[in-house]
Homo-oligomer: A and B are copies of this chain.
Amino acid sequence: MTLPYALSMKTQRRSTPAGARPLRADAERTMTAILEAAERTLSDDPAATMEQIAEAAGVARTTVHRRFATREALVDALAVWATQRFAAAVEAAHPDTAPPLVALYQTTANVLGVKVGWGFAMSQATSADPEVARVHGEVRDTCERLFRRARDAGVLRADVDIAWTRRVYYALIHEAAQNRDENDADALATLVVDTLLRGAGTPHPDRL
């Protein structure tokens, strides 16, 4: 007796399993090519087909399905892949120990570097993978801790709403990351931090 087709596979193959035999070199390359192609393709059109992704990767569609059992598995793997880089980028800026302003610039520059290349994957914070959600939550907390330190150090005003400030910060980074090629990460980071801290208004208009 055979299984009812639809239930046969689905949960068997895994994308980045814990205890899996290492891939052969060529398979590893294919895997990376697929993930990079998926990022490029999906950031252009989030509803892109597996076919389109395969084509962008220079690979047959069946090969994609061999590596990632389902479309969801592929997107999850992509999210995990990018989330690791994201976490590493934040960590490398020592956001909890460097002086607030320094940490803010450095974190911004590092994150922009990742975000420019992995925009789609980074938008998958609500991934099915709990690890992805966990890391995004942690980064969020780290960000708010940094802002609190900045406030205590007098860099941010005493009356700012930390949560709103973080959301504005995220939005600015997102906006800056759209300038893909234009400027390098350092210039963009300066723009973002500058805008976040000073806004666009004149110094003290005493308006309103």
Note all chain B residues with C-beta closer than 8 A to A168: 172, 175, 195, 200
Q: How far is the CA of A174 from the CA of B195 in the complex (A)?
A: 17
Q: What is the number of residues of chain A that contact chain B, defined by CB distance less than 8 Å? A: 30
- Tell which of A31-39, A50-58, A69-77, A156-164 binds the partner: A156-164
A202 contacts B155, C-beta separation under 8 Å? yes
A201 contacts B47, C-beta separation under 8 Å? no
- A24 contacts the other chain (Cβ, under 8 Å)? no
Cβ-defined partner of A175 (8 Å) among B47, B156, B171, B199: B171
Q: How far is the CB of A129 from chain B (nearest CB, A)?
A: 20
- A196 contacts the other chain (Cβ, under 8 Å)? yes
Smallest CB gap from A207: residue in B: B101
Q: How far is the CA of A208 from the CA of B174 in the complex (A)?
A: 24
Which residues A158-208 have CB closer than 8 A to chain B? 160, 164-165, 167-168, 171-172, 174-175, 178, 191, 195-205, 207-208
Q: How far is the CB of A73 from chain B (nearest CB, A)?
A: 18
Q: How far is the CB of A71 from chain B (nearest CB, A)?
A: 12
Note all chain B residues with C-beta closer than 8 A to A171: 171-172, 174-175
- A4 contacts the other chain (Cβ, under 8 Å)? no
- A154 contacts the other chain (Cβ, under 8 Å)? yes
B165 contacts A175, C-beta separation under 8 Å? no
Cβ-defined partner of A201 (8 Å) among B156, B191, B204: B156
Which residues A140-162 have CB closer than 8 A to chain B? 154-157, 160
Q: How far is the CA of A171 from the CA of B156 in the complex (A)?
A: 21
Q: How far is the CA of A172 from the CA of B174 in the complex (A)?
A: 12
Q: How far is the CA of A195 from the CA of B172 in the complex (A)?
A: 12
Q: How far is the CB of A187 from chain B (nearest CB, A)?
A: 12
A residues lining the B interface (CB < 8 Å) = 47, 101, 154-157, 160, 164-165, 167-168, 171-172, 174-175, 178, 191, 195-205, 207-208
Given contacts A164-B195, A198-B199, 4 further A-B contacts (CB under 8 A): A101-B207, A171-B171, A197-B205, A203-B203
